[in-house]
Structure 1
Amino acid sequence: MSIENESRRQLLKAGVSAGLVAATAGVPWFALAQGETVVPFIDVPEGWAPGPRQPGRTHIIDTRQINNFYSDDFYVVQHYGQPEVAAAGYELKLTGLVDQPLQFTYEQLRALPSREIDCGFECGGNGGRMFHGLVGNARWRGVSLKDLLAQAGVQPAGREVVFFGADKGMETIRGREVEKAFARSLSLEDAMREDNLVVYEMNGQPLPVHHGQPVRLLIPGFYGVANVKWLTQIHVQDTRYMGRFMGRDYVTLKREVVGGEERWVENSVARMNLKSVIVRVTNRGGSHRIAGFALNDGTPLRSIEVKIDDGPWQQATIDPQSSRYSWKPFYFDWQGASPGEHTIVSRVTDINGHTQAPAEQLPERVSYWEEFGQFPRRIRIGA
C-alpha cells in the first residue's frame, strides 16, 4: 500500500468527519501552483527570519516556507548540547522494577519487528512570538516501546517509566553543582500505549544527529519535550520522577477554579492541546488561499474553520495525507477579497466538542508553555 493511500486509510480510521475531507482531489496547500504568489503578513516584522540550524541551539522554522507534508525543515530544541552517539557501540538499557533487565545494541533494535507512523509535534514553548515555528511533521520508524517493556516484564510495583538521554549538563541544586542527564517520565499507563515507539529512522533515513541519532523516543500526541533524544536508558520505578524537566522546568502555572476555589495550578507539560494556526496566504488571479495546520493529541477532529474580519466561521479543507498523529494542514479558498487590511483567524474543534478558544478566554498563565489560543493574523490585500 502506498504512503498516500495508507495515510488516507489512517485518517478515515481515526474518525475525521466526512465534511473535513471533502474535495480531497485539491492540491495540497504547501505546493504553490503556477502563478500563485505569497501575500506578506503585516504582523511579521520586516526582515524577520529564523537563523540557520546550529549544534546545541534552538532552531525555529519559518512556517511561511513549509513546502512538504513531511518536514524538510523540522524544529530543534536541545537542552544540554548536541552529543554525538555512534551507532557502533550504542546500547539501550531497560532497568529497574522489571523481571529481566535488558540491553539492546543498535543492530538488535533494528532487527526487531518495526512499524512506521506519521507524527507531528511542537515544542511546549511554541507560540506567537516565533509565529509557531517550533513545529514539524515526519514519518518515523522504530520498535514498540510496549513490546520492549513487556519483554522485560514490568513488576507489579512499577508505576513510572523514566527515559534518560545521552545529553548531560551541570545543574545547581541547593547550591551544589551536579551533572544531570536530560530525562522525562511517563506513567506506566501512558508508557504502555500502542503507538509509542523507540525510533531510529526519520523520513526514511537514519535519525540525524540533531534529532537524536542513533535512537530516540516517540510519544505521539505529546509535546516535543517528551520525545527524549539520544535515548540510552529506560528505567521502571515505583515513585514519580521529579527531575528538572518534569518537576521544575516545562511546568505550567495557570489560574484555575478548583472545587469552587480560585487557585494557581502547576502541571508538567505533557499531552498537546488542541491548536490551529494560519501560516500563509496566497494569491492566484485574484483568488486567495488561506492555509495553516492543526495539531492535537490524536483525538479525531470534527472541523477546522476560518473567519475573516467580523464574518462567519467557514469550514476549511484538510489535506488528505493527514492521519491521527500527523499535523493536519488545511486551506480555505477566499473568493472576492476586498482591497485593504484584513484580520484572519482559524479554530479547530474535535469530536468531543472541544473548540480552540480565543487566548483571552483561556486560563491566566504565568509562562509561555502551552500557548494554544486562537492566533489572529493580519494581511493587506492590494487594489
Structure 2
Amino acid sequence: MSKATPKAAPEAMPEQTEQSRRTVLKGGMALGGIAATAGMPFWSRLALAQNEELVPFTDVPEGFMAPPVTPGGIHFLDTRNIDTFYTPNDDFYIVQHYNQPVIAEEEYRLRITGMVDNPMEFSLAEIKARPKVEIDAGFECGGNRAGIFQGLIGNARWGGISLGDLLSEAGLQSGGIEIVFYAADTGTETIREVEVEQAFGRSLHFTDAMSLEVMLAYEMNGEPLPLYHGAPLRLLVPGWYGVSNVKWLDHIHVQDRRYMGRFMARDYVTLSRREVGGVERWEERSVTKIRIKSSIIRVTRDDGGHTIMGFVLNDGTPLSSVEVMIDDGPWQQAEIDPESTRYSWKLFTYRWTDASPGEHTIVSRVTDVNGEVQPTADQMPEKPTRWENNEQFPRTVMIA
C-alpha cells in the first residue's frame, strides 16, 4: 500500500448551492464557524520541528503501540504520531467483519436491483468512465474508545462517482424508500439455531442515499482503493461512522421496507435510556451519524513552551468552538486547521505558555453552531453498549 500524497495548497471552497455535484465535492466543502489565527501555516506544524519533542502522557501504559496491519486483523493509529492531514493509506484504521475478498478489477461488477425502473450493471471501467467527484472525509469506528486512545480513526481524500446520480439513472420507484448495500465479504451466522451464509450489508433511507456528498469511491488519497479498504469499490457516507461506509461493495438493492441485517438490527446497535414523551424508556438505534467528539492526542515541548494537539470528528455540522481546559482552570479557545473541510477531521492546537512542572490533567471539548456540546462522561446517557463513545477524554501529562 502506498503513502498518502502530499497535501496540496488550499483551493477556493465553493458554497453548497445548486452547483453541480462535481464542483461542490471538488472543493471539499469548507468548514464554517471558526476563524484561524494568522501566522505559521497549520499544515507545517503537524510534523515535529527540529527543536520540538513529545511530552509523555502518564495515562499511556509502558510499551503501548498500535498493532501492525495484518490480514484479518484490526489496525488502529497511535494518535500521538499523527503528523499529516491525510492519513497514509497503510495507517488508516482497519476493522472488518467477515473475510477480506480479493476481487480482480476486470471481473468486478456492480448491480443495482429492486424497485428501480432500470436495473443496471457496471464494470469497474464503466464506473471510472463516469464523471469523477472527490471529497475530504474522516471518520471513526463506531466502537472507537479511550482504551486505545481513540485510534480507530482516519482522514483521506476520496475519489469516485456520485451515488445519487447513479440512483437517479436507475429510476427509484414510488415506495422504494430503503437503499441496501451488500458487500462481497461473507461469513456464516447462527440465527435461531440455523446456520446461514450472509454478506455484510448496511442500508440508507433514500433521502440520505441521495445526499450530495455520498459517493462510490474507487480512490483513496489519489491511489487505487487498497484491498483492506474495500477494493475495488466502497460506499462513502461522509459524516457517518465507519460501519456505514460499506467496503467491497458489489450490489445495491432498492426496497420498500427497512433492511434488518445483522449490522443494522442486531450489531452496531446502541442501547440507551432516554426520555420519550415524558417517560424514560430503553431505546435501540442503529449506529449512523458521528456524534460530536474531540480528543487530545499529543503534547510537545519546544524552546517557547508547549503545544497541545487534538482532533475533532462530527457529522458535518459547522463548529462554533474547540476549547482546552488544563487542570481545573477555565476553558481556553484552541486554533483549528483552517484548511479543514466540512467532513474532514479537524486538527486543532492550543499554545500552552505557562506550564508548571508536575503532572497535569488536560481535556478538550467541541461545540457546534447548534449549541451541542461534547458531553462529559457524567452527562452521557445510560448506555451499556460499547458504541458511539463521544464523551470528553481527559489526559494526564508530566511536565519536567
Same fold judged by TM-score > 0.5? Answer: yes
Match of residue 37, structure 2, among 14, 22, 26: 22
| Counterparts of 2:96 and 2:29, CA distance in 1 | 35
Mark the CA change 1:314 to 1:12 in structure 2 (over 3 Å): closer, same or farther: farther
Shift of 1:86: 1.2
SS of residue in 1 equivalent to 2:264:
helix
Identify the residue that residue 138 of structure 1 maps to in structure 2.
Answer: 156
Whether the 8 Å contact between 2:365 and 2:392 is mirrored in structure 1 is: yes
Correspondence 1:59 to 2:54: no
| Counterparts of 2:163 and 2:353, CA distance in 1 | 48
Q: Which runs of 5+ in 1 are unaligned?
A: none
Letter in structure 2 aligned against 1:25: M
Identify the residue that residue 19 of structure 2 maps to in structure 1.
Answer: none
| Counterparts of 2:39 and 2:111, CA distance in 1 | 45
Counting only pairs closer than 5 Å after superposition, residues 120-135 of structure 1 correspond to structure 2 as: 120-135=138-153
Correspondence 1:339 to 2:357: yes
Identify the residue that residue 239 of structure 1 maps to in structure 2.
Answer: 257
| Counterparts of 1:41 and 1:297, CA distance in 2 | 29
Correspondence 1:37 to 2:53: yes
Shift of 1:6: 2.1
Letter in structure 1 aligned against 2:160: G
SS of residue in 1 equivalent to 2:182:
strand
Aligned residues: 380
Counting only pairs closer than 5 Å after superposition, residues 189-200 of structure 1 correspond to structure 2 as: 189-200=207-218
Identify the residue that residue 9 of structure 2 maps to in structure 1.
Answer: 4
Shift of 1:12: 10
SS of residue in 1 equivalent to 2:263:
helix
| Counterparts of 2:28 and 2:106, CA distance in 1 | 41
Shift of 1:320: 2.0
TM-score by length of 1: 0.96
Whether the 8 Å contact between 2:128 and 2:160 is mirrored in structure 1 is: yes
Q: Deviations over 1:231-251 (max 9, x none)?
A: 000000000000000000000
Identify the residue that residue 293 of structure 2 maps to in structure 1.
Answer: 275
Match of residue 326, structure 1, among 334, 344, 364: 344
Whether the 8 Å contact between 2:28 and 2:136 is mirrored in structure 1 is: no
> Over the residues paired in the alignment, what is the CA RMSD in angstroms?
1.5
| Counterparts of 1:13 and 1:209, CA distance in 2 | 28
Identify the residue that residue 214 of structure 1 maps to in structure 2.
Answer: 232
The share of aligned pairs that are identical, in percent, is: 57
Correspondence 1:76 to 2:94: yes
Shift of 1:109: 0.3
| Counterparts of 1:174 and 1:360, CA distance in 2 | 37
| Counterparts of 1:12 and 1:110, CA distance in 2 | 20
Whether the 8 Å contact between 2:30 and 2:340 is mirrored in structure 1 is: no
Match of residue 64, structure 2, among 48, 52, 56: 48
Match of residue 317, structure 1, among 296, 313, 335: 335
Match of residue 159, structure 1, among 177, 180, 183: 177
Whether the 8 Å contact between 1:198 and 1:218 is mirrored in structure 2 is: yes
| Counterparts of 1:258 and 1:55, CA distance in 2 | 44
| Counterparts of 2:349 and 2:327, CA distance in 1 | 17
Mark the CA change 1:27 to 1:15 in structure 2 (over 3 Å): closer, same or farther: closer
Shift of 1:157: 1.4
Shift of 1:37: 0.1
Match of residue 349, structure 1, among 344, 367, 381: 367
Letter in structure 2 aligned against 1:6: E
Shift of 1:142: 0.4
| Counterparts of 2:365 and 2:262, CA distance in 1 | 33
Shift of 1:141: 0.3
Counting only pairs closer than 5 Å after superposition, residues 253-292 of structure 1 correspond to structure 2 as: 253-292=271-310
Whether the 8 Å contact between 1:184 and 1:243 is mirrored in structure 2 is: yes
Shift of 1:18: 4.4
Mark the CA change 1:224 to 1:288 in structure 2 (over 3 Å): closer, same or farther: same
Shift of 1:32: 1.2
Shift of 1:287: 0.5
| Counterparts of 2:12 and 2:157, CA distance in 1 | 11
| Counterparts of 1:150 and 1:9, CA distance in 2 | 24
Match of residue 241, structure 2, among 184, 198, 223: 223
Whether the 8 Å contact between 2:312 and 2:347 is mirrored in structure 1 is: yes
Shift of 1:13: 6.1
SS of residue in 2 equivalent to 1:360:
helix
Mark the CA change 1:316 to 1:98 in structure 2 (over 3 Å): closer, same or farther: same
Please say which of residues 338-347 and 26-35 is displaced more in the overlay: 26-35
